[in-house]
């Protein structure tokens, strides 16, 4: 589990990069504070999210929903877990 955690920290998904940029814009972090290497896909996704957040657009991704969907696919939650 520690290796997987380190890999996920060192190599975030494009959705996570986008949402991080989005959240940074909402927190009024400057565009120049992009933590990813210039020209990389991660950097581009961060910028896309940053601009969406800066202009008050809805985010393209809902990571909470994606996490629940991933847990469902791995069998960690029941199919009707979110239905009451």
CB burial string 53-82: b at 16+ within 10 A, e below: beeeeebebeeeeeeeeeeeeeeeeeeeee
> Mean per-residue pLDDT for 9-17?
87
Dihedral-angle region of residue 75 (phi above 0 means left; psi in -120 to 50 means alpha; beta otherwise): left
Mean pLDDT throughout 1-20?
84
Q: Are 23 and 50 in contact (CB under 8 A)?
A: no
Is the distance from CB of 11 to CB of 45 less than 8 angstroms?
no
28-76 tens-digit pLDDT? 999 999 999 999 999 999 999 999 999 999 998 876 655 555 555 555 5
pTM for the structure as a whole? 0.69
Residue 78 is predicted with a pLDDT of 59
43 vs 10, which has greater pLDDT?
A: 43
pLDDT tops 90 at residue 84: no
């Amino acid at each position: 589990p520690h290796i997987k955690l380190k890999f996920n920290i060192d190599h975030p998904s494009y959705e996570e990069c986008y949402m991080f940029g989005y959240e940074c814009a909402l927190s009024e972090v400057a565009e120049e504070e992009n933590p990813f290497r210039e020209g990389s896909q991660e950097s581009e996704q961060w910028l896309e999210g940053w601009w969406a957040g800066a202009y008050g657009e809805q985010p393209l991704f809902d990571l909470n929903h994606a996490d629940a969907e991933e847990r469902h696919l791995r069998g960690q939650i029941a199919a009707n877990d979110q239905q009451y």
